Structure 1
Amino acid sequence: METLNDNCVKGKRILLLYARFFGYDVIVKNKLESLGAEVDLYDARANINTVEKAIKKIDSRFYYKKQRKFHKNIILNTRNNQYDFIFSNENIARETLMDYKKAFLNAMLVLYLDDSVENMKGVNENFDIYDRVLTFDRKDAQDYGVIFRPLFFCDTFKKLHEEKIQENNDICFIGTCHSDRLFVIDQIMMRYPKLKYFLYCYLQSWFMYYYYRLRDPAYKSKSKNFFVYKQMTMDMVGAYMAESRAILDIQHPKQTGLTMRTIETLGLGKKIITTNKDIVNYDYYNPNNVLVIDRNNPIVNEEFINSPYHPIDAELYYKYSIEGWIEEVFGE
């Protein structure tokens, strides 16, 4: 399969309520529009400052009120539009979802989970409101009876794959430094000091650095300047990954679904070193391309890094592209 079914989104009007992360909201919007859809994009989450984030952790009622008002304004701004789809990747309150259904009677309400149910408290309690629920997590799809659809790689990675960029690094890590990611990175670098690394350990703010420093011993040996506090553009993410032989993926301990970074690695035609044991159950798994490590005792086979990548089947490659994702998410 080489081209998207034009009947899928061509001529459709879509409201995207997309929780913003590394520009994927804009990427999806632009791709949908290039395929003939008319798209209105809004952040699915009300903007809150650092102090408000702290308050939210203590009492979520504050955020609920702000979020409810935020979505009422979106409905007010778009109430005259006739949507075919309302898409969200965020855990939106039940009352707010009902507001959208009442305002846009003919729209299909679609939820795509790019995080595990366990990390999105109570999201499964609202599945009955949606017309279509999909998840990137294979286990959640089985447990909750929803559609299993992995994440996607965007065109940036496909183009870089075709260019065959020179590889200057052995291992590349780009991502938010949450959970035990810093510990795993430190263990690998300590055990394999001769390998060449590119690291981009992102934190949302200096506040988060000091917060983690108080709670996690791994942060005590790092200055705040070790981390970066600005999200990298998608083009830069792709460029740095393309210059590396293998990509390091450390999924959240509570998450079993494959991360976006994992799928982007597939798009680039790169090897992946991952803590996610569930990857062996995916249709593109090949031990020549995928090395599963223990997050508590990460062992990296250097022969794996230096051996050639084995290309996957063209149909599978399409499946994990953004076009393949759109076809499943918005298809009949």
Structure 2
Amino acid sequence: MFKDKTIILAVHEYADFSTTIRKSLEQLGFTVIELDTHQPLFKYKNLTQRFHNFFRKTFLKDRNYKHQLKQKAIEEQLLQQLESHTHVDYALLIRADILPESVIDTIRKKTDLVAAYQWDGLDRFPIIYDYIPRFDRFFVFDSKDLSVEKVRPATNFYFDYLKVEDNRTEEVHASFVGSYFEYRNQILKDIARQLLNIGVKTDISIFSQRNHEIEIIQSLGFAHLDTTISYEDNLTRTMSSDILIDVHVNDHKGLSFRILEALGYDKKIITTNTDVMRYDFYQPENIFVWTTGHSTAELKAFIDAPPKKIEQYIKHKYSFTNWITYILNKPPYTTIQLPK
């Protein structure tokens, strides 16, 4: 489909997610130029720079100078990675707000079509508003952001190229893996308690490196992760589960990857995101919307109900293959819409 096409890939560093996207792009025929967005280990270039930072911090109360030096180091690193490439067919930037403006402008000059996808609500990282006009195609996953000029709708996706073995056991099993957010604690505790009451085993694993958060995680009876696991390792856990648990971020309505994974890999899911009911793949046999006031009997009925088969054309619409052809405007593809 994209044989002999080149693409620049820059993804916000999260659980080695860029590796999975790179593999997916290569499966489709791309030659991938992956930018390393990891922050380099910072070192002062000389004693003058170190003294200048000390002076500004101590006497001028300026604590941003070192941060500015770090940002400059990232900028130089990324520009150096781009230096040898004179012409590229496409660029895909996910969370483009992590990139310095000069890097985006350099990509723009070298590339025929530059597309960006913001998998967080725009207001979470508002600097992105200034970047939007720089792109040929800019996509958001939260319907409330569609009022912004020049943005287009998209959802997250599931990776349809991955062949992860489904290693479920006879015991019904529900799982959650994520970073620590305080607002999730009580919800996850309530979900785990209700599932336990109806005989469903839960595996809730939460990442944190802060001592007081680790104590809370352990006091709730959850497993603590001291390092993030890669996205593909997370998918291995997904494939061993019958049910996924999804507690969405409060300040946006966009669908998490967990919801699309449940769709693509034929899993049931419990989610707090009520917006999922407005999508064409929603079936109450497959998706339990967790709200206050539901009964344990309702949850048990959901667990016991046979799953509802989703039409293949609907599943394909939310696959990575359809997603990337839509993002890059390379027909044929099915347009992805967000409910208004």
Tell me, yes or no, if the aligned pair for 2:195 and 2:201 is still in contact at 8 Å.
no
Secondary structure in structure 2 of the residue aligned to 1:227: strand
Residue 177 of structure 2 corresponds to residue 174 of structure 1? yes
1:287 to 284, 299, 317: 284
Distance, in Å, in 1 between the alignment partners of 2:108 and 2:230 is 34
Distance, in Å, in 2 between the alignment partners of 1:30 and 1:62 is 36
Distance, in Å, in 1 between the alignment partners of 2:94 and 2:255 is 16
CA RMSD of aligned residues (A): 3.1
Q: Which amino acid aligns with 1:69?
A: A
Residue 89 of structure 2 corresponds to residue 77 of structure 1? no
Higher RCO (CA < 8 A, seq sep 6+): 1
Distance, in Å, in 1 between the alignment partners of 2:276 and 2:283 is 10
Q: Which amino acid aligns with 1:75?
A: L
Distance, in Å, in 2 between the alignment partners of 1:19 and 1:255 is 18
1:201 to 197, 201, 205: 205
Secondary structure in structure 2 of the residue aligned to 1:256: coil
2:258 to 253, 256, 261: 261
Quote the offset at 1:231 in angstroms: 2.5
Q: Which amino acid aligns with 1:327?
A: T
Q: Which amino acid aligns with 2:302?
A: F
Quote the offset at 1:75 in angstroms: 1.4
Tell me, yes or no, if the aligned pair for 2:9 and 2:34 is still in contact at 8 Å.
yes
Q: Which amino acid aligns with 1:109?
A: V
- Which residue of structure 2 lines up, in the alignment, with residue 15 of structure 1? 8
Q: Which amino acid aligns with 2:175?
A: C
Quote the offset at 1:302 in angstroms: 0.9
Quote the offset at 1:68 in angstroms: 3.5
Tell me, yes or no, if the aligned pair for 1:91 and 1:120 is still in contact at 8 Å.
no
Task: After superposition, give the CA deviation of every residue in 1:2-38 in whole Å (9 maximum; x if it has no partner).
Answer: xxxx1xx332221211112223201111121222211
Tell me, yes or no, if the aligned pair for 2:24 and 2:161 is still in contact at 8 Å.
no
Residue 99 of structure 2 corresponds to residue 118 of structure 1? no
Quote the offset at 1:297 in angstroms: 5.9
Secondary structure in structure 2 of the residue aligned to 1:105: helix
Distance, in Å, in 2 between the alignment partners of 1:285 and 1:273 is 12
Q: Which amino acid aligns with 1:283?
A: D
Q: 1:239 to 1:203 in 2, by over 3 A?
A: closer
Tell me, yes or no, if the aligned pair for 1:157 and 1:264 is still in contact at 8 Å.
no
Quote the offset at 1:258 in angstroms: 0.5
Secondary structure in structure 1 of the residue aligned to 2:242: strand
Tell me, yes or no, if the aligned pair for 1:14 and 1:37 is still in contact at 8 Å.
yes
- Which residue of structure 2 lines up, in the alignment, with residue 52 of structure 1? none
Distance, in Å, in 2 between the alignment partners of 1:235 and 1:99 is 29
- Which residue of structure 2 lines up, in the alignment, with residue 309 of structure 1? 307
Distance, in Å, in 2 between the alignment partners of 1:102 and 1:234 is 29
Secondary structure in structure 1 of the residue aligned to 2:79: helix
- Which residue of structure 2 lines up, in the alignment, with residue 238 of structure 1? 235
Tell me, yes or no, if the aligned pair for 1:273 and 1:290 is still in contact at 8 Å.
yes
Aligned residues: 307
* TM-score w.r.t. length of structure 1: 0.80
Residue 191 of structure 2 corresponds to residue 188 of structure 1? yes
Q: 1:120 to 1:145 in 2, by over 3 A?
A: same
Task: After superposition, give the CA deviation of every residue in 1:82-103 in whole Å (9 maximum; x if it has no partner).
Answer: 2222322124378x33444246
Distance, in Å, in 2 between the alignment partners of 1:118 and 1:244 is 34
2:37 to 26, 35, 44: 44
Distance, in Å, in 2 between the alignment partners of 1:325 and 1:103 is 22
List gaps (5 residues or longer) in structure 1: 1-5, 50-57
1:318 to 307, 316, 319: 316
Tell me, yes or no, if the aligned pair for 2:20 and 2:232 is still in contact at 8 Å.
no
Q: 1:259 to 1:48 in 2, by over 3 A?
A: farther
Q: 1:68 to 1:141 in 2, by over 3 A?
A: farther
Distance, in Å, in 2 between the alignment partners of 1:31 and 1:203 is 26
Quote the offset at 1:312 in angstroms: 0.8
Distance, in Å, in 2 between the alignment partners of 1:192 and 1:46 is 41
Secondary structure in structure 1 of the residue aligned to 2:101: helix
Task: After superposition, give the CA deviation of every residue in 1:123-148 in whole Å (9 maximum; x if it has no partner).
Answer: 12321112211122233234555111
Q: Which amino acid aligns with 2:281?
A: Y
- Which residue of structure 2 lines up, in the alignment, with residue 3 of structure 1? none
Q: Which amino acid aligns with 1:135?
A: V
Distance, in Å, in 2 between the alignment partners of 1:299 and 1:61 is 55
Q: 1:222 to 1:172 in 2, by over 3 A?
A: closer
Secondary structure in structure 2 of the residue aligned to 1:304: helix
Q: Which has the larger radius of gyration?
A: 2
Q: 1:121 to 1:43 in 2, by over 3 A?
A: farther
Distance, in Å, in 2 between the alignment partners of 1:245 and 1:264 is 12
